[in-house]
């Protein structure tokens, strides 16, 4: 007698969830997938993200690489600027997908990427908005799940936690507050669209540092209406406990409190800070968060598994890890012939060493964004000499010649059905 179809609940509708759902439905077309999303609709906004390493190979296999390429921001690289707007140094895109610089060959806004990835499965999954998992209890052959709003309790073969850095499910799985698995990297950021073009049509991002760890970062937006993507970042050292506490409190109070605090902190920052603060108020997609790594001691427990930021958020490569994790989890379920408990353990054993190789103990945000005028000057001097002599290109070219490329996960050849 044929086995009943897999019944899977995914908490969160982001990038990791979409990649996982796509591949599960490829392997098991009759699978019953439900996605619960705490937001009232799909979150198709957000800052620029990129695709690196194994994630490039995966989107190629999905047949989406050219679609993604045609929807990139077309950013050419980054100009680091002084307070008068003059260029201190430049770091261009490399044109090499195996050895990318700050600007990726696949620099794309998160909302656009999320839309591209979820569109193929929208009609094949049950998507429930304004809902999230309240609690779960595991038994031998399933997971009983209750919800916070109106959705009735239900049983599933697998519960996938793709509910972000502050994952409620992770906290319940580990029996510890979610905050305990988060490593604060000392950077708080706000992202928003500015309804005017502050870059005068240039396709170069601009990066400006002011003392006290204040960063203004502007990125081009190909929108024909003439817009700019604005980022205001506050970088704090471990010793600046009072400032970190103020920033965290503003985050908890919501967007209005955080915008008010940014207006105070960036009032005298210089360069285009006044125009950026004005644009922040005029935009309609403000979002703020802090930079953090998720360092969970385990990624699965029986039929409950952590995916993407819920298990291993890593600023800079988080999107690529989410794509890679979604693919690997689905692949292991296929390889285990639907034995989800076995598959979750195999997924954990496969991906944990890779995650650890990506999550270093150093904190580049602290080095790249000095706190003092002297530190900013010293960094600019070093970078101007290095980029002027093309040492950045020489290092990348040499590494490529020696066979080095961005780290990739050594995955098994999963037996995907022929499409």
- What is the per-residue pLDDT across 371-386, written as a single tens digit (0 to 9) for each? 999 999 998 988 888 7
0.95 exceeded by pTM: no
In a domain, 258, yes or no: no
User: 198 with 73: CB under 8 angstroms?
Assistant: no
Q: What's the number of domains the chain is made of?
A: 1
Domain of residue 24 covers 7-67+108-181+294-358
pLDDT tens digits, one per residue of 232-284: 999 998 899 999 999 999 999 999 999 999 999 999 999 999 999 999 999 88
Q: Could you tell me the CA-to-CA distances from 331 to 187, 217, 270, 314 in Å, in that order? A: 35, 38, 50, 22
Q: How far, in Å, CA of 9 to CA of 32, rounded?
A: 9
Consecutive H or E run containing 312: helix 309-312
pLDDT tens digits, one per residue of 338-360: 899 999 999 999 999 988 887 76
In a domain, 149, yes or no: yes
Q: How far, in Å, CA of 152 to CA of 6, rounded?
A: 19
Half-sphere exposure of 361 toward its Cβ, with a 13 Å CA cutoff?
0
In a domain, 411, yes or no: no
Q: Could you tell me the CA-to-CA distances from 281 to 43, 48, 139, 255, 320 in Å, in that order? A: 20, 20, 50, 11, 31
List the CATH number of the domain containing 298.
3.50.50.60
User: 133 with 145: CB under 8 angstroms?
Assistant: yes
In a domain, 53, yes or no: yes
Half-sphere exposure of 402 toward its Cβ, with a 13 Å CA cutoff?
8
Task: Give residue 397's pLDDT.
Answer: 44
pLDDT tens digits, one per residue of 145-181: 999 998 899 999 999 999 999 899 999 999 999 889 9
User: Does residue 91 or residue 394 have the better pLDDT?
Assistant: 91
- Per 3-state DSSP, the chain is made up of helix, strand and coil in percentages (nearest 5) of 35, 25, 40
Q: How far, in Å, CA of 326 to CA of 37, rounded?
A: 17
CB atoms within 10 A of CB 376: 20
In a domain, 142, yes or no: yes
């Amino acid at each position: 007698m044929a086995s009943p179809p897999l019944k899977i609940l995914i908490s969160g509708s982001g990038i990791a969830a979409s990649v996982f759902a796509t591949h599960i439905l490829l392997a098991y077309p009759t699978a019953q997938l439900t996605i619960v999303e705490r937001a009232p609709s799909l979150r198709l906004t957000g800052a620029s993200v990129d695709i690196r390493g194994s994630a490039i190979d995966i989107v190629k296999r999905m047949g989406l690489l050219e679609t993604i390429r045609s929807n990139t921001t077309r950013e050419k690289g980054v100009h680091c600027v002084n307070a008068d707007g003059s260029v201190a140094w430049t770091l261009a895109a490399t044109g090499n997908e195996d050895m990318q610089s700050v600007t990726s060959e696949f620099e794309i806004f998160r909302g656009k990427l999320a839309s591209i990835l979820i569109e193929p499965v929208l009609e094949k999954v049950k998507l429930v908005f304004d809902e999230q998992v309240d609690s779960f209890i595991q038994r031998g052959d399933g997971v009983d799940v209750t919800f916070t709003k109106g959705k009735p309790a239900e049983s599933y073969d697998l519960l996938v936690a793709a509910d972000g850095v502050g994952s409620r499910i992770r906290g319940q799985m580990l029996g510890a507050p979610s905050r305990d698995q988060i490593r604060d990297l000392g950077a708080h950021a706000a992202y928003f669209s500015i309804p005017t073009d502050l870059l005068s049509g240039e396709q170069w991002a601009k990066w400006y540092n002011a003392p006290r760890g204040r960063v203004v970062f502007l990125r081009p937006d190909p929108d024909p209406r003439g817009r700019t993507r604005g980022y205001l970042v506050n970088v704090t050292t471990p010793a600046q406990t009072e400032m970190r506490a103020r920033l965290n409190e503003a985050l908890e109070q919501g967007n209005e409190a955080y915008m008010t605090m940014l207006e105070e902190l960036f009032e005298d920052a210089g360069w285009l800070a006044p125009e950026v603060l004005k644009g922040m108020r005029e935009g309609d997609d403000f979002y703020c968060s802090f930079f953090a790594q998720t360092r969970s001691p385990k990624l699965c427990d029986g039929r409950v598994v952590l995916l993407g930021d819920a298990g291993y958020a890593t600023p800079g490569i988080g999107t690529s890890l989410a794509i890679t994790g979604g693919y690997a989890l689905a692949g292991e379920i296929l390889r285990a012939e639907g034995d989800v408990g076995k598959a979750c353990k195999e997924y954990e054993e496969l991906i944990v060493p890779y995650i650890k190789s990506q999550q270093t103990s150093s904190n580049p945000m602290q080095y790249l964004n000095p706190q003092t005028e002297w530190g900013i000057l010293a960094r600019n001097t070093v970078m101007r000499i290095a980029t002027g002599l093309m040492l950045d290109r020489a290092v990348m070219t040499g590494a490529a010649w020696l066979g080095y490329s961005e780290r990739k996960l050594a995955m098994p050849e999963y037996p995907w059905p022929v499409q």
